[in-house]
């Protein structure tokens, strides 16, 4: 079904901000018309909750986390950007394998399954993810959906 991605993200940011408390600042930005996008609510929620939770968890207190959506006719991108601990280069290629955690996580808790689930949800939905990260600078996760995926709702009645 068609989803108001803009409202969905606003609500999710409000919810996650409430849970994170005043130690973190979640900021929502949008470009283009994101009001009628062919995305599945449940899968999208799972994807974004995992990515936003990582952004919060791996950021120091006071950290800012940006959720930016950009909607064009044939392409929707969703970006989650933090200024947290980052991911060492040698650990970056294994992030989507279960139980893999980077060597710089220290005592930050985690199972190493979040990104594996995100990847599976995107496979189900039809969508891609790339993660760019620099240790000590931060991490940006970019989720992308293209035409063929976004046009499937047009066959809905
Ligand atoms: P969980 O299963 O609870 O999500 P997790 O957060 O450790 O545990 P993933 O979400 O799969 O597992 O992430 C895998 C690893 O990638 C993390 O352990 C961490 O090393 C690294 N990572 C993921 N997101 C970030 C981020 N935003 N900043 C820094 N490191 C990250
Ligand atoms: Mg995680």
Q: How many CA atoms lie within 13 A of 91 on its CB side?
A: 16
In angstroms, rounded to a whole number, what is the distance separating the alpha carbons of residues 137 and 121?
A: 28
How do residues 46-94 score in pLDDT, each as one tens digit? Answer: 999 999 999 999 999 999 999 999 999 999 999 999 999 999 999 999 9
Pocket test for ligand 1, best of 110, 121, 136 (most atoms within 8 A of CB): 110
Quick one: DSSP state of residue 15? H
Look at the pTM and tell me if it is higher than 0.90. Answer: yes
Give the closest ligand to the alpha carbon of residue 136.
1
Residue 53 CA to ligand 2 centre (angstroms): 6
Token output for 110: 């985690």
Name the 3-class secondary structure at 37: strand
Average predicted confidence (pLDDT) for the chain: 96
**Range 38-44 average pLDDT:** 97
* 1 band by pLDDT with thresholds 50, 70 and 90: confident
In angstroms, rounded to a whole number, what is the distance separating the alpha carbons of residues 89 and 69?
A: 26
**Range 34-45 average pLDDT:** 97
pLDDT of residue 126: 96
pLDDT of residue 156: 53
Nearest CA among 56, 112, 113 for reference residue 103: 112
């Amino acid at each position: 079904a068609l989803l108001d991605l803009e409202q969905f993200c606003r609500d999710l940011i409000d919810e996650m901000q409430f849970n994170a408390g005043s130690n973190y600042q979640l900021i929502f930005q949008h470009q283009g018309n994101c009001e009628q996008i062919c995305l599945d609510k449940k899968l999208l929620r799972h994807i974004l909750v995992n990515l936003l939770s990582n952004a919060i968890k791996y950021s120091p207190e006071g950290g800012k986390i940006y959720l930016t959506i950009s909607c064009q006719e044939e392409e929707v991108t969703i970006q989650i950007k933090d200024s947290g601990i980052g991911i060492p280069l040698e650990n970056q290629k294994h992030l989507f394998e279960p139980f893999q955690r980077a060597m710089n996580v220290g005592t930050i808790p985690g199972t190493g399954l979040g990104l594996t689930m995100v990847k599976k949800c995107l496979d189900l939905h039809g969508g891609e993810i790339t993660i760019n990260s620099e240790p000590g600078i931060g991490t940006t996760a970019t989720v992308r959906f293209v035409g063929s995926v976004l046009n499937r709702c047009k066959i809905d009645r």
